[in-house]
Structure 1
Amino acid sequence: MKSLCLVFLAATLLAGCNSSTTSGSGAAGATSAAALLTPGPWRGELATQGQKIPFLFEVKTEAGKPVVYLVNKGLNGEERLRCDEISAAGDSVTIRLHVFDAALVVRADGQDKLKGVWVKYDSKTPYRVPLVATAGAQSLFNGADSKDAASFAGTWKTTFTDGKDSYPAVGVIQQKGADVVGTFLTTTGDYRYLSGSALGSGLRMSTFDGSHAFLFEAKKEPKIKVTAANNEQTGLPRALAENAYRGELNGDYYSGKSGHETWTATLDPKAKLPDADTLTYLRKGESRLNFKFPSIVQGSSISPTDPKYKGKVVVLQILGSWCPNCMDETAYLAPWYAQNKARGVEIIGLGYERSSDYQQAASRLQKMKQRFNIGYDLAVAGVSNKDSVARSLPQLAKFLGFPTTIFLDKKGVVRSIRTGFSGPGTGQYYEEEKAHFNRTVDKLLKE
């Protein structure tokens, strides 16, 4: 049985990796994909960690071929991630997921029903998560009733913990009846578009963008002061135990195949995170970044000392094509650059990819460049972990996460380093993020 499973997995991965056309090779493939993917709304469900993570998508027919849109709702409205690389092989269809190295591999399971797997190709060991999907307009979560739904609207001072370590976050939730949308902001980014329902005193929110599948669950409970006597019942980490409060919300956060954390939150309209401009910094005595990385254009390299950047304000974007927050920042920077490059500003994207192989890494970044119509330069800088960034940019004393944005003045001196990016799923925080970026660049351009 194990050998059969391995053969099936290899065939599935091969089918996904060889998907280079939008609807398979030849008319038979196109017909099969179109027949399997009924146009209209769909509801999918990922089965992982004993939980079910629901998501919504829509199938449309464009130029005679099926196109899938992942649909996520949030504080700034609706996100629709276009997935147009769809291929058919035998009785299965592979849907490559936007810019990410991942896919849905599905087959028919009755009338207007699909069964299959979500495959993450870019993991150290590619893994699969079972899924089912049903055609028709449906809610993410069933059973919500506005009559008995508790109110979860507001700004929440939040703490996540994996059992050992904890980190702060700010939760923002809007609610209409039993329907909720929101997100959580952390020091290294946000959890993007979250939506779901209030079910009595319970809250459930989920999202699926192709790279990440998240499920947040919580119960609303009375705020209780933590003491040594009751700490065993609070679930708070030891460091936060005494003289603190167990939050009004207490719940679980599930991520993908195995990620799990608990979280607690207290309503606090003044909740905020540490200043994003103070978290990443240079080593003492350093003022510049010295690097020379291969460009995604084979045979060329990129350095901030290149003549192209002389006398210009330069923005360094530390990113990865696998990173949804980096995708959000890129979706903003690409059109911004097109509109502002004539002012004397350049952007360099430093890509840290899952693969250490140059060709594979450059290919992933090329796909990102095409998807977002990126006009600025992209380089292959390393692999996607903090140690790789530390080795390739040794002038940095501390690096926390992707994305990180570094601003260089016209002399090449590092003037500001900003950790994370509050994307379009964060509502007003996204507007503040864009305003901060423009203020920083404007100030350096005036010097």
Structure 2
Amino acid sequence: MKHLLSVIPLICLVHLSFSQSHLKPGIWRGQLKTKSGNLLPFNFDVKDVAGKQQLFIHNGSERFKVTDIRQKGDSVLIHMPLFNSEFKLKQDKNGLKGRWIKHYADHDMLMDFDAVAGINWRFVNNPAVPKLNIGGLWTAVFVTDKGKQDTTVGEFYQTGSKLTGTFLTTTGDYRYLEGIVDGNKLHLSTFDGGHAFLFTADIKDNKTIVNGVYYDGYDDVEKWTAYRNPKAALPDAYSLTKLKPGYKKIAFSFPDLNGKKVSLTDPKYKNKVVIIQMMGSWCPNCMDETNFLVNSYYKKYHPKGVEIIGLAYERTTDFNKSKTTLTQLKNRFNIPYTLLITGYTPAKGDPVKSLPALENYRGFPTTIIIDKKGNVSKIHTGFSGPGTGKYYTEFVAEFEKLTDNLLAEK
């Protein structure tokens, strides 16, 4: 912890001393190197926007914007807008080389990185003709090195060699995955400053994917297999987390970003439908949920009598550090609703300790819907973001219908 405290001011000074960067405009191909030596590739555009350079990282249909790019001499610093991570690089005639650094509360994760301009392919320049089309729904089973299993739903879209899709779990999805089918080999990856995922596998036949390996960041590795299943589905997201017997309400009192305590009993929330977003600035699925709440839901429903409270579970119990990361999130999405710093972290059962009425809590994000009488109406576990296609569309329709019904209650 002392090491991190000493590094943060230094980073701030470096930010101040850097001048405008001048990377070659156009498409680039970058790759991160895992501990096992596997390369996790992604593409990004460099564009000149209003006299400044910006990056747009490609993940399927998403273009993830990065605006904080600074250069001094041959040194390039790219600070990611979310998830407390950055690139520290050197630029030469061959491109960029250095490291991606992701900051955690008690340590840093570092991955070697290099990038070359002018390359628009992700995994292979000229992939072999695919032997099969794996588009559709699959039941995928991930197994950790300790034998823990997680059954997910894989949904893939394949056009020629190009492959996109995602894996859906009970707590969220793997966001936008992009890659190829090279003969009978599957390759998918994604990177957004929080996620750094690489998937490889063999396509055995039209119904079976085998020898799958999933690389998460620098050194986390899981094995996976999948079988085609047109009826693959997750359990109802409203059925997983509940209130303990005897409870109808939840209660809390946490400070906002200015240190002012906020509670559900405050007059602001009386006779209102209230959405409680259990989230963290480190959580990519929470980012997708925040984008939905800010840009679609809040604009439509706040004038009708809906309030939203974001309960933040940061990776540190330090109020000021949590405030810094949450302010970054707030500014990124122009969040108009209240964010509270709970002082609890995501680990060791802290979310349940903060809201002891909850039972069978699964993970982030979790959304608690409260009716106008202050009672918990429903609890939604996870979030299927726009990378999940129809699942996202179905969630939005169902969530809005639930809200309309609660607003109509007397």
TM-score (normalised: structure 1) = 0.86
More off after superposition, 353-362 vs 118-127: 118-127
Deviation at 1:87, TM superposition (A): 2.8
Q: 1:338 to 1:356 in 2, by over 3 A?
A: same
Q: 1:236-267: per-residue Cα shift (whole Å, max 9, x none)?
A: xxxxxxxxxx9444411000011111111110
Q: Which residue of 1 aligns with 2:379?
A: 417
1:230-249 → structure 2 map (5 Å cutoff): 247-249=208-210
Q: Is the Cα contact below 8 Å between 2:201 and 2:209 reproduced in 1?
A: no
Deviation at 1:63, TM superposition (A): 2.7
Q: 1:14-38: per-residue Cα shift (whole Å, max 9, x none)?
A: 6544465xxx54xxx425x22xx21
Q: Which residue of 2 aligns with 1:238?
A: none
2:298 is the counterpart of 1:316: no
The CA distance in 2 between the partners of 1:198 and 1:340, in whole Å, is: 43
Q: Which residue of 1 aligns with 2:115?
A: 133
Q: Which residue of 2 aligns with 1:107?
A: 90
Q: 3-state SS of the aligned residue for 1:326?
A: helix
Q: 1:196 to 1:15 in 2, by over 3 A?
A: farther
* Residue from 37, 44, 50 that aligns with 1:57: 44
More off after superposition, 159-168 vs 191-200: 159-168
Structure 1 unaligned spans of 5+: 1-6, 224-245
* Residue from 347, 350, 370 that aligns with 1:408: 370
* Residue from 256, 267, 292 that aligns with 2:217: 256
Deviation at 1:144, TM superposition (A): 4.5
Q: Which residue of 1 aligns with 2:298?
A: 337
The CA RMSD over aligned residues, in Å, is 2.0
2:148 is the counterpart of 1:162: no
Q: Which residue of 2 aligns with 1:187?
A: 170
Q: 1:128 to 1:60 in 2, by over 3 A?
A: same
Q: 1:315-341: per-residue Cα shift (whole Å, max 9, x none)?
A: 000001111100000001012212321
Deviation at 1:446, TM superposition (A): 1.0
- Identical pairs, percent: 43
Structure 2 unaligned spans of 5+: none
Q: 1:116-173: per-residue Cα shift (whole Å, max 9, x none)?
A: 1010012531121000000014211115536344221110011111031101100000
Q: Is the Cα contact below 8 Å between 1:311 and 1:410 reproduced in 2?
A: yes
Q: Which residue of 1 aligns with 2:238?
A: 277
Q: 3-state SS of the aligned residue for 1:151?
A: coil
Q: Which residue of 2 aligns with 1:38?
A: 24
Deviation at 1:362, TM superposition (A): 1.3
Q: 1:281 to 1:144 in 2, by over 3 A?
A: farther
The CA distance in 2 between the partners of 1:421 and 1:185, in whole Å, is: 9
Q: Which residue of 1 aligns with 2:323?
A: 362
2:398 is the counterpart of 1:436: yes
Amino acid in the other structure paired with 1:262: K
Deviation at 1:398, TM superposition (A): 2.1
Deviation at 1:356, TM superposition (A): 1.0
Q: 1:171-222: per-residue Cα shift (whole Å, max 9, x none)?
A: 0001111110010000110000001010111100000011110001110125
Q: 3-state SS of the aligned residue for 2:349?
A: helix
Deviation at 1:431, TM superposition (A): 0.4
Q: 1:285-330: per-residue Cα shift (whole Å, max 9, x none)?
A: 11111100011123x1111111000000000000011111000000
* Residue from 63, 67, 84 that aligns with 2:54: 67
